[in-house]
Amino acid sequence: MARKQKKPLDLSAYAVPRHVAIIMDGNGRWARKRKLPRIAGHRAGAENLRRIINACVEFDIQVLTIYAFSTENWGRPEREVQGLMNIFARVLDQELDDLHAQGICIHHLGDMSGVSQNLQEKVMHALELTKDNQTLTLNIAFNYGGRAEILHAARAILSDGVSPDDLTEELFSSYLFTGGLPDPDLVIRTSGELRVSNFLIWQAAYAEYYPAPAYWPDFGREELFEAIVAFNKRDRRYGLVTEGADTNTS
């Protein structure tokens, strides 16, 4: 069978967000719609990652952050949690060489100490192998929660003996798992949900939020393109007034 031709998508007239963050939601509903077990949805979701990473490289996005497992997701049935751990390990086994060859630099956001030694070692190996790559930074948020991240930063700041007067927003940011990276410009949540669910709550203070109706396994290159087009229609004011707005204060 002939390979499906990629639709030409031209972003030359648009500003491309530097950092895109995605809450990959809807795997369970994707599976339920097909009368499949939830884990089949997670497998399809993991396969979709490859498409989105390729699209980010094609669109020249510099940083992609994906929310893969939250600190709250531990409360799911044990079988599902174990299934998600196994999928993460398998993705690293199967995709790492290709990601490295593509110039992807992998970072981890979150706390790996709660997961198996085997998975910790795979993640450490991936970070070490890809640390000098420059095509795209891929942040994998796994066992990640925004509140836990802020607490982790606060503890490190205290144990470093930083004086309250020296603590600035910039310094605080540098203690987060994303230290040194630009804040997300665009946060996409698939499956139509309108929640933040503890994702990048500090870093996304001025991100543009975009709810995508598709379940994560169905969110592809064209849907990402549409999100970037929508992002371009936003007026990012950062608390200021738009140029040309009515300045009559009386």
Residues that bind Mg ion (CB under 5 A): 25
Give the residue with the Cβ less far from ligand IPE, 103 or 220. Answer: 220
138 binds, among ligand IPE, Mg ion, none (CB under 5 to 8 A by kind): none
The DSSP bridge pattern shows strands 63-70 and 136-144 to be parallel
Name the active-site residue from 54, 73, 86, 232.
73
Number of Cβ atoms within 10 Å of the Cβ of 213: 11
Within 80-139, which residues bind ligand IPE (CB under 6 A)?
Answer: 84
Is residue 111 among the annotated active site residues?
Answer: no
First to last CA, the chain: 69
In terms of Cβ atoms closer than 10 Å to its own Cβ (0-12, 13-18, 19+), residue 199 is: buried
Tell me the per-residue interface mask from 16 to 55 with ligand IPE, x by CB under 6 A, - otherwise: -------xxxxxxx--------------------------
Give the residue with the Cβ less far from ligand IPE, 178 or 191. Answer: 191
Q: Is the Cα dihedral 68, 191, 186, 104 positive or negative?
A: positive
Whether the CB-CB separation of 23 and 65 falls below 8 Å is answered with no
67 binds, among Mg ion, ligand IPE, none (CB under 5 to 8 A by kind): ligand IPE
**Two tokens at 244?**
């040309």
Is residue 248 among the annotated active site residues?
Answer: no
Binding footprint of ligand IPE on the chain (CB under 6 A): 23-29, 67-70, 73, 84, 191, 193, 195, 197
